[in-house]
Structure formats: structure tokens, C-alpha cells
């Protein structure tokens, strides 16, 4: 399956700069079975520069999305901004480990950029999404977490206590 609005015709495209704009919402991420965001509002700008022997793609994404706070579990909004440059070359075989280069075979006349856009955004997600201030977190969840941490500190294994006593004898 492909998302038609992300399939760019490159055959017959005149040399020069061409600009595209895409609005990404929940349906875009549902297409990839992704649960990265609950309510994304992203805009992707693409500047495509075609020359006689290659195509340069410059992606620029910005917007915000609702995610779950990793600390308290409440919803929060994060800002997303990322960009990526990709070279599209014409060739006979596709290289395997080249992230910045796409090779179009002579039989291919279109370029599907949907996966490239998805991966760019997914890879630029923060590794940890938390409210900037702990005061913005759900305070009931924070209290519950702190009591759980205290219980874990109080629950010590008696074998460790015996070892601690040996250490104190010196």
C-alpha cells in the first residue's frame, strides 16, 4: 500500500526546484501502525531540486504532537522540528547501507517519500518525553512513585544486613 499524496512523479519532471507541502495528522501515523503520537499536527516542506543526473531532496518538518509523559503518564505537547537531505541517483542497482542516497532504477518513474518522512520524524523524537517542570506532572502519580521508591529502600534483604554487620566489625 502507498499513500498517493506522498508519491512524487520524477519521470517527466522538469529540471529545477520544485516545492511540496504536506500536512501530517493521526491518519499518516496510523498508516504505519505507529503509536508515537496521540494528536500530531505537523507540516513537512519538501524542496526537490532536479538536475540531469540526480535529484536533491531537502525535507523540513515542524509542528507539535501530543504524547504521554514518561514520568507521570499524563498527556503533554512536544514541539517537533527536524530536517534531512537526501540524494536520489539514477542507477542499475540499489546499495544496501546508504541512508542519504536513494537509487532509482530505470524502470521506476515515481518516488514514494512517505516512509522517509515517517522515519525522519520518528528518529528525531526525544528519547525521553517528560514535562519540563515536575510541577507540571500529575502530582498524584508523583506521590505514588515516591512512596513506591521509599518502600523499595525499606525492603532490604536480611542477608545484606548480615554482610553490613561484618563490615562494621572492622
Residue 155 maps to a domain: no
Residue 69 maps to a domain: yes
Band (pLDDT 50/70/90 cuts) for residue 153 is low
Q: Work out the percent of the chain whose per-residue pLDDT is above 70.
A: 88
Instruction: Tell me how many degrees the CA angle 128-134-135 measures, rounded to the nearest 5.
Output: 145
Burial of 111 (0-12, 13-18, 19+ CB in 10 A): buried
- Which range (75-89, 124-138, 147-161) has the least confidence? 147-161
- Which range (49-53, 74-78, 103-107) has the least confidence? 103-107
Residue 163 maps to a domain: no
| DSSP category for residue 14 | P
Residue 95 maps to a domain: yes
Tell whether the model's pLDDT for residue 50 goes beyond 60.
Answer: yes
Band (pLDDT 50/70/90 cuts) for residue 49 is very high
Mean pLDDT of the chain: 85
What pLDDT does residue 56 have?
A: 95
Residue 24 maps to a domain: yes
Residue 160 maps to a domain: no
Q: 58 vs 155, which has greater pLDDT? A: 58
- Which range (29-33, 90-94, 122-126) has the least confidence? 90-94
Rounded distance between C-alpha atoms, residue 144 and residue 141, angstroms: 5
Average pLDDT in the 88-99 region? 75
**Total structural domains within the chain:** 1
pTM of the model: 0.76
Domain with 76, as residue range(s), is: 4-131
Contact 18, 111 (CB under 8 A): no
Residue 97 maps to a domain: yes
Grid cell of 97 as nine digits: 547501507
What pLDDT does residue 154 have?
A: 53
Amino acid at each position: 500500500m502507498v499513500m498517493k499524496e506522498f508519491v512524487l512523479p520524477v519521470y517527466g519532471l522538469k529540471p529545477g526546484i520544485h516545492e511540496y507541502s504536506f500536512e501530517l495528522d493521526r491518519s499518516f501515523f496510523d498508516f504505519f501502525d505507529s503509536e508515537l503520537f496521540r494528536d500530531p499536527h505537523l507540516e513537512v516542506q519538501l524542496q526537490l531540486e532536479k538536475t540531469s543526473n540526480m535529484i536533491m531532496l531537502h525535507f523540513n518538518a515542524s509542528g507539535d504532537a501530543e504524547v504521554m509523559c514518561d514520568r507521570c503518564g499524563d498527556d503533554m505537547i512536544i514541539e517537533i522540528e527536524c530536517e534531512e537531505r537526501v540524494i536520489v541517483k539514477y542507477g542499475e542497482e540499489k546499495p544496501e547501507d546508504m541512508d542519504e542516497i536513494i537509487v532509482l532504477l530505470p524502470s521506476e518513474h515515481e518516488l514514494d517519500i512517505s516512509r522517509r518522512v515517517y522515519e525522519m520524524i520518528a528518529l528525531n523524537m526525544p528519547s525521553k518525553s517528560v514535562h519540563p517542570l515536575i510541577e507540571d506532572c500529575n502530582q498524584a502519580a508523583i506521590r505514588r512513585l515516591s512512596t513506591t521508591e521509599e518502600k523499595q529502600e525499606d525492603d532490604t534483604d536480611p542477608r545484606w544486613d548480615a554482610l553490613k554487620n561484618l563490615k562494621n566489625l572492622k
